Amino acid sequence: MPITHIIADSLDRSFTLYRDLIESLEETTLSSKLPQIPSNTLGLQLWCVVGARESYSRAIQANQWSGFTCSLETASVKSPVAEALVRSAQAVSDALKSIETYTDVQNRLIIDLLEHEAAHHGQLIRYLYALKLTIPASWKSRYALT
């Protein structure tokens, strides 16, 4: 299997993890911060994921970075966050499917996006533990969490 397919599969797995996460959260949890340390809200973590997906999908198609923007106007209401996660995952998938042969720049952007997704996985695991939230089964399995 070509590396681009493996990376696309890894992104799809990440998209599934985020879908499972948002489905497991109560709406009020999106406004929660990590206790006793500086942090943004859990919802703003997801806002960053959505914005990165949107920004990287545009950059991959343009074959160059063109800045970070996010269409998600609120990160504290579950339904728009869930919809934005689905929409932004589809934008990435569509971008990857639209390219027949990837340039080095596009490959770098795709890997950067995958790293960004994984970095937020780690951050969100901290939120799940610190806020004593239910950890979705897919996250437990993927990261050997208890």
pLDDT computed for residue 5 by the predictor: 81
- Residue 98 belongs to what domain range? 3-140
When divided into structural domains, the chain yields a total of 1
* Residue 65 belongs to domain with CATH number: 1.20.120.450
- Would you say residue 8 has pLDDT above 70? yes
Rounded CA separation 119/126 (Å): 11
pLDDT digits (tens, 9 = 90+) for 83-141: 999 999 999 999 999 988 889 999 999 999 999 999 999 999 999 999 999 999 999 99
Residue 145 lies in a domain: no
Q: Where are the alpha helices (DSSP H) in the chain?
A: 3-24, 42-62, 78-97, 104-130, 137-143
146 located within any domain: no
Q: Are 76 and 41 in contact (CB under 8 A)?
A: yes
Asked whether residue 56 is assigned to any structural domain, the reply reads yes
User: What pLDDT band is residue 3 in, cutting at 50, 70 and 90?
Assistant: low
Report yes or no on 12 lying in a domain.
yes
* Residue 52: predicted pLDDT: 98
Tens of pLDDT along 14-47? 999 999 999 999 999 999 999 999 999 999 999 9
Are 8 and 93 contacting, i.e. CB atoms less than 8 angstroms apart?
yes
